[in-house]
Amino acid sequence: MSNELSPRQSDEVAPLRKAESEVAPVTDKGAASLFNQLKGFWVTFRTMFKKVNTVEYPEVKEPTAPRFHGRHQLNRHPDGLEKCIGCELCAWACPADAIYVEGESNTEAARYSPGERYGKVYQINYLRCIFCGLCIEACPTRALTMTNEYELADNDRGKLIFEKEDLLAPLRAGMLPPPHPMYPDADHHTYYRGEVPGASPLQENVAETNR
Amino acid sequence: MNEFPMTTTELIGTDPGWLIAVKALLVFAICVLLTLFAIWAERRVVARMQMRLGPNRVGKFGLLQSLADGVKLAFKEDLIPKAADKIVFVIAPLISVSVCFLAFAVIPMSGPVMMFGRETAMQLTDFPVAVLYILAATSIGVYGIVLAGWSSGSTYPLLGGLRSSAQVISYEVAMGLSLVAVFIYSGSMSTSEIVASQDRFWYAVVLFPSFIIYVISMVGETNRAPFDLAEAEGELVGGFHTEYSSLKFALFFLAEYVNILAVSALATTLFLGGYRALPGLGFTESWLGGWFTMVWFFAKVLLFFFLFIWLRGTLPRLRYDQFMKFGWKVLIPASIAWIMIVATLRVLSAEGAPQIVIGGFTAAMVLLVLAGTSIYERSKARAEAKAHEVPDMPEPTFPLPVMPSGRTSAAGILSTESGEGSERDE
């Protein structure tokens, strides 16, 4: 092991020196021949009739790469409960300090996520976000992912701080807007294993009466 | 030759004052509109050469882009640097822009036409030394550039201005010389007469070397790529107009493009038969009461403008020394040699020398050029071969610090190593 740090032997260096001496001296060959110069003109002339590479952006929108880092999304369980548990790991992972989370305990009257806690306040400041995706890697429940949406310009700085309702995934078929109780006989383990199929009629009734 | 009863000079000589005013206004409007179009066209065509689209947002096909740029420039803050010479700084763009329009005054843009019930030609004025007047007018334009560079009170503009003056002055010599052959052949310096004398052959064909030299030097004259050393963006920020903003910058921009159009118009007039139709299409000259000749004129001017764009899209910028070398050591000697050949031929035919003498002289000249080229090529090849030879050099010796024992040379150290051994032996 000790020979790992030993200085390079002279026979290792020698071939390098030899290569140096073989380099031909730099000479100015002058202008290219007339024919070669005319070829250059032909290249530019021909290019005029080629298809252009321009994508006319506002009218034509090419899809991004599938794993493009765009706007974030807070996902839901199949019955509509939020996956976010308000743990703030995303906020701690963020190198740009763009995420602000305030957790809150779920109650039986108002349940937003399976388990103990949910994210009450969830803000991402897109003036600071560098779209590195470390927050997505940090998220223990897959609540935070990124979409391919990249049109994040505005004329007001305030509008670029996205609130929870801006980031939450839309309600799909079979989803109930929280707060509502968990799926019958399910606990947060069942939810995380993905065994909850969708909102049950029982949950719907409770949600109705709560409203 | 004389299908028109009067020469253009006589025709426009009888213009009343109001008609001259109208024509002056028309020429000015044409220059400005053509500039707007030219800037748009250049950006679109260069973009195509780079597989882009170019400006296509403002107006149909982006045609109003230059207008929008002009409006934007007008609304920008007009900065004058603290170190600038204020008066000269303001005057410089005015010189540039006012002078560049002058050349168009003597360019014949159409044949005889009817204008407000009077027969005239689309040419503001004409005089026996019109081409010299154009040369004089365009060379005043360099004052604008030099003064702008000097008065900015900043390094890069000064360098740009200096380069520009050297460039324009050196290429003007070649340009002037290339025109001499045209004067010899047409026997006149009046633009309209030069056009009239090209009714059989264009001078671009008859005087092909002159044409080539003119085209090269007109690119040098207008500070355009690949000779855009005066505003070399990569080296001098923006060259002479680095410190300019707002309308003053717009004026320089306008001047640059009007200059390009002016030299193109001059090239059209002197070498491509001006407003005359292409050979074999002479019947079109009477269309629209003679106004159709303007279409021919502008088609030819735009052809030259396309050449400018093409050059810009193809060639990298020359190094300054290469550029000067090319101007003084290639273009000017070639021009002079060509003029002497043309003059000799002209004198021979004027003196009524027999065909065989003229033919013999031409053949001798061709042979001379071929021989010269082959000698040059051979010496170039030999020089190249020589440059590639690895010279037989002695082992390099370096000065060495004095050793404790008083030995200085590397050879000494080596020898004493063996010497030490021998000492030990003793």
Helix count and strand count (H, E) for chain A? 7, 5
Judged by CB atoms closer than 8 Å, whether chains meet at B314 and A56 is answered as no
For residue B322, the surrounding DSSP H or E stretch is helix B320-325
> What is the value of pTM for the model shown?
0.74
Chain B CA closest to residue A22: B390
Neighboring chain A residues of B393 at a CB cutoff of 8 Å: none
Listed in sequence order, the DSSP H helices in chain A are 10-22, 34-47, 89-93, 134-138, 164-167, 188-192, 201-210
Chain B CA closest to residue A23: B390
Q: How far apart are CA B306 and CA B311, in angstroms?
A: 8
What per-residue confidence (pLDDT) applies to A21? 52
* Facing B388 at nearest CB: one of A24, A50, A51: A24
Q: How far apart are CA B143 and CA B145, in angstroms?
A: 5
What per-residue confidence (pLDDT) applies to B121? 78
Among B292, B233, B211, B221, residue whose Cα is nearest residue B262? B221
* A46 touching chain B per CB within 8 A: no
What per-residue confidence (pLDDT) applies to B424? 46
Judged by CB atoms closer than 8 Å, whether chains meet at A50 and B50 is answered as no
- Min CA distance, B329 vs chain A (Å)? 15
* A34 touching chain B per CB within 8 A: no
Reported as half-sphere exposure (CB side, CA atoms, 13 A), residue B386 has a value of 6
Q: How far apart are CA A192 and CA B107, in angstroms?
A: 84
The SS3 of residue B279 is coil
pLDDT digits (tens, 9 = 90+) for B119-158: 777 788 888 888 898 888 888 888 888 898 889 888 888 8
Chain A CA closest to residue B49: A48
Mean pLDDT, residues B199-224 taken together? 86
Chain B CA closest to residue A51: B51
Judged by CB atoms closer than 8 Å, whether chains meet at B314 and A40 is answered as yes
* A41 touching chain B per CB within 8 A: yes
* A12 touching chain B per CB within 8 A: no
Judged by CB atoms closer than 8 Å, whether chains meet at A27 and B315 is answered as no
Which of A:79-118 have CB within 8 Å of B? none
Judged by CB atoms closer than 8 Å, whether chains meet at A44 and B53 is answered as no
Q: Is the pLDDT of residue B194 over 60?
A: yes
Judged by CB atoms closer than 8 Å, whether chains meet at B52 and A51 is answered as no
Reported as half-sphere exposure (CB side, CA atoms, 13 A), residue A158 has a value of 0
* Facing A54 at nearest CB: one of B52, B313, B390: B52
Neighboring chain B residues of A24 at a CB cutoff of 8 Å: 388
The mean of the pLDDT values for chain B is 83
Q: How far apart are CA A4 and CA A7, in angstroms?
A: 9
Cβ contact B112:B290 at 8 Å: yes
Of A132-136, B179-183, B277-281, B366-370, which one has max mean pLDDT? A132-136
Mean pLDDT per 10-residue segment, chain A (211 residues) = 53 50 58 78 90 88 91 92 93 95 90 91 94 94 92 92 93 87 88 87 76 64
Lowest mean pLDDT among A92-106, B188-202, B302-316: B188-202
Q: pLDDT: is B285 or A24 the higher one?
A: B285
pLDDT digits (tens, 9 = 90+) for B221-240: 888 878 877 676 667 777 78
* Facing A27 at nearest CB: one of B49, B315, B388: B388
What per-residue confidence (pLDDT) applies to A167? 93
Lowest mean pLDDT among B4-18, B324-338, B361-375: B4-18
Q: How far apart are CA B109 and CA B120, in angstroms?
A: 12
Judged by CB atoms closer than 8 Å, whether chains meet at A44 and B388 is answered as no
- Indicate the pLDDT class of residue B418, thresholds 50, 70 and 90: very low
pLDDT digits (tens, 9 = 90+) for B167-192: 888 888 888 888 898 888 888 888 88
Judged by CB atoms closer than 8 Å, whether chains meet at B53 and A52 is answered as yes
* A17 touching chain B per CB within 8 A: no
Full set of structural domains in chain A with CATH: 72-200 (3.30.70.3270)
